[in-house]
Structure 1
């Protein structure tokens, strides 16, 4: 009887655990400014950093991480003009997770996430990956869409696959 209860409780714990991202590519180390995603995948390692850490030590961040993810709880501060050069000079991709206004409030002077009200900013995407190449004077952005919250694991998988290729 004890074995059955133990097995049932283990199954219950597994069923109630965090979402699992079905990503099976190369291991990725992602610095996160804001809330750490609650998902399970042994190939993805999230490490919290502050905006100041990112802006003050971009060389360390770019050599030790595959990407930087910024989450909605930090959008207000992250969209301040003092960080525009950080994003535009970053050598690694920046994930603006759950940003309906894409990357524009973060990469343009004079805009903040709250003041950027252009209807054209909302292209229906959930998340944007932004990568700037100052030397080539170009920037790239990739958009990821989420139709249903139940497909969040698919969204993460697509984001991680793109990071792996950059």
Structure 2
């Protein structure tokens, strides 16, 4: 009996520790530059890619994925001027996850994530989705806010819902 209780409690502990996101929209494939998010949802599929992969083959990336997510471990390199044109020409949503400086250090030459003045760029948002289509003369950004780290699953759900509509 003790073994059964132990196994059941171990199963419940593992099940409760999953970072499950309650997103029930269309399946999404997201390329990730940086750390893969530790969350679980059968409709969300992440695949790691490098910045060079993204910049060298944006057509393939945009054909095979619904969005590209860039995480904080890659912000300094991702904000180098050589990638500005990549972001502006990509025509697909780019998620700058946990960027207090929004998309600005990434989409403006002469700024890096480190050198951009945080105070002037901070609008209180946690994450920004940026999309640009030079042919359509379109450039948009959507901001997502996180009040409490316990609500990270809600933040992800909102991001995925927005990606689904773009």
TM-score > 0.5 by shorter chain = yes
Residue 92 of structure 1 is matched in structure 2 by: 92
The two structures have a TM-score, normalised by structure 2, of 0.97
* Residue 10 in structure 1 maps to residue 21 in structure 2: no
Deviations, residues 121-160 of structure 1 (Å, cap 9, x unaligned) = 1000000000001012220000000010000000000000
Alpha-carbon separation, structure 2, partners of 1:151 and 1:8:
25
Residue 60 of structure 1 is matched in structure 2 by: 60
The two structures have a TM-score, normalised by structure 1, of 0.97
Alpha-carbon separation, structure 2, partners of 1:24 and 1:61:
24
Residue 127 of structure 2 is matched in structure 1 by: 127
| Segments ≥4 residues shifted beyond 2 Å | 2-5
Counterpart secondary structure, 2:101: coil
Any stretches of 5+ residues in structure 2 without a counterpart?
none
Counterpart secondary structure, 1:162: helix
Instruction: Indicate if the aligned counterparts of 2:100 and 2:118 stay in contact, CA closer than 8 A.
Output: no
Counterpart secondary structure, 1:39: coil
Name the Cα RMSD after superposition: 0.9
Counterparts in 2 of 1:1-166, with a 5 A limit?
1=1, 2-17=3-18, 19-117=19-117, 119-166=119-166
Measured after TM superposition, the shift of residue 118 of structure 1 is 5.2
Alpha-carbon separation, structure 2, partners of 1:5 and 1:34:
37
Instruction: Work out the number of aligned pairs and report it.
Output: 165
Any stretches of 5+ residues in structure 1 without a counterpart?
none
